[in-house]
């Protein structure tokens, strides 16, 4: 039986010197909501195409705007591009997004995209929109050939999105994910930062499916070198995987600045051991709930941060990303999936002893 799962701070691990928000989650950024649907059923010996399902969907609403007439500023950076995030061209060209962010598995990007469009149209959207949908490959544990994610799963995640605490580990789109040879999944963290005399919040949510066991680093300690390689883990030669990082902030930043913020999330991944390998899709994005664009030509924003004032936003992003990865790792539980593949949860007592 797994040990009781706890977040990094319950193990005494404090990343950086900045203070987390009240929930230490992306939802500390006012207005941001997270919804998740977990699809977890079936025995490991089912034939290909019939199960088991170890997957799901996680959605992030930057704002509850169904109309599509307002956009939040957003930026994108690809640390390693062997993966997919739709609407990245809109972020790079226009510096904005207009929809919720949908996270799921590689083979169901189309379902996520189609379901998001249909959901918005059914609730009043006029015209067209380009949803943000990002993926990681969970097919070591999940029967990807069975296409077990449905429109209804996506609708449920969009409907049940709320502010408040965010469930972590083997939930939503993180149900079948693997992290440094151990079970991974969804993780989140936040930081309160001061910039230009004002206090802002930076929140991060990660979908983790990357890393080689030997490189795992926790709070600067090379834990992966000191822990035995997990039994029956995915082979190291196939362990590069992917990671999606979503950074939210209420700091007034435009798309160009947010692309710079997204880039700094890669430093947080690197501090846990990521090298952005050739086969890895480590795709990073950031959005601001304050700097909003109105398609009629108006602009709803405080004056943008300028110059060195952004440095503390960078620091908060790096630290919150690192801690979000650790929370995904520590909160995940041992999972048996397709073809009897077993991915163990990281042993927290052993981590505590090493640290």
Q: Is 282 a catalytic residue?
A: yes
Q: How far is CA 80 from CA 85, 240, 284, 300, 314, in A?
A: 12, 11, 9, 33, 20
- Active-site residue, selected from the candidate residues 242, 274, 288, 323: 242
Say how far apart CA 7 and CA 332 lie, in whole Å: 10
- Active-site residue, selected from the candidate residues 280, 288, 322, 344: 280
Q: What is the token pair recorded at 178?
A: 């693997």
Q: Is 242 a catalytic residue?
A: yes
Q: How far apart are the first and last CA of the chain?
A: 23
The angle at the Cα of 244, spanning 241 to 249, to the nearest 5 degrees, equals 160
DSSP 64: -
Report the relative pairing of strands 342-343 and 299-300 from DSSP bridges. unpaired
Q: How far is CA 233 from CA 130, 141, 211, in A?
A: 37, 11, 12
Residue 162: count other Cβ atoms within 10 Å of its Cβ. 12
Q: What is the token pair recorded at 297?
A: 């030509």
The answer to whether 204 touches 245, Cβ cutoff 8 Å, is yes
101-112: burial string, b at 16+ Cβ within 10 Å, e else = bbbbbbbbbebb
Residue pointed to by tokens 């009043």 = 124
- Active-site residue, selected from the candidate residues 135, 282, 315, 323: 282
Q: What is the token pair recorded at 294?
A: 């109105």
The answer to whether 318 touches 193, Cβ cutoff 8 Å, is no
DSSP 22: S
Say how far apart CA 40 and CA 175 lie, in whole Å: 7
Q: What is the token pair recorded at 220?
A: 């600067």
Catalytically active residues, by annotation: 242, 280, 282
């Amino acid at each position: 039986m797994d040990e009781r799962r706890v977040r990094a701070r319950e193990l005494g691990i404090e990343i950086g010197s900045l203070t987390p928000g009240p929930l230490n989650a992306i939802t500390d950024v006012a207005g941001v909501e997270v919804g998740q649907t977990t699809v977890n059923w079936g025995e490991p010996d089912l034939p290909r195409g019939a199960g088991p399902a170890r997957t799901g969907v996680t959605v992030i609403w930057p704002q509850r705007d169904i109309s599509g007439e307002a956009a939040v500023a957003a930026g994108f950076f690809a640390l390693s591009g062997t993966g997919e995030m739709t609407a990245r061209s809109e972020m790079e060209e226009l510096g904005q997004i207009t929809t919720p962010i949908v996270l799921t598995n590689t083979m169901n990007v189309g379902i996520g995209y189609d379901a998001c469009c249909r959901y918005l149209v059914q609730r009043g959207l006029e015209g067209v929109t380009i949803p943000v949908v990002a993926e990681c490959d969970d097919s070591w544990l999940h029967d990807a050939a069975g296409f077990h994610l449905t429109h209804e799963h996506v609708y449920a995640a969009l409907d049940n999105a709320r502010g408040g605490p965010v469930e972590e580990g083997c939930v939503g789109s993180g149900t079948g994910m693997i992290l440094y040879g151990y079970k991974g999944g969804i993780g989140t963290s936040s930081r309160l930062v001061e910039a230009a005399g004002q206090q802002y919040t930076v929140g991060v949510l990660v979908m983790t499916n990357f890393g080689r066991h030997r490189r795992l680093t926790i709070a600067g300690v090379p834990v992966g070198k000191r822990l035995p390689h997990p039994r029956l883990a995915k082979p190291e030669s196939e362990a590069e995987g992917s990671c999606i990082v979503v950074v939210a902030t209420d700091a007034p930043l435009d798309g160009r600045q947010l692309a710079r913020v997204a880039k700094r999330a890669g430093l947080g991944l690197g501090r846990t051991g990521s090298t952005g390998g050739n086969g890895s899709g480590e795709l990073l994005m950031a959005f601001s709930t304050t700097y909003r664009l109105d398609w009629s030509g108006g602009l709803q924003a405080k004056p943008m941060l300028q110059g060195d004032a952004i440095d503390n936003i960078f620091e908060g992003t790096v630290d919150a990303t690192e801690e979000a990865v650790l929370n995904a790792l520590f909160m995940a539980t041992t999972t048996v999936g397709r073809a009897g593949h077993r991915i163990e949860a990281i042993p927290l007592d052993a981590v505590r002893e090493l640290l």
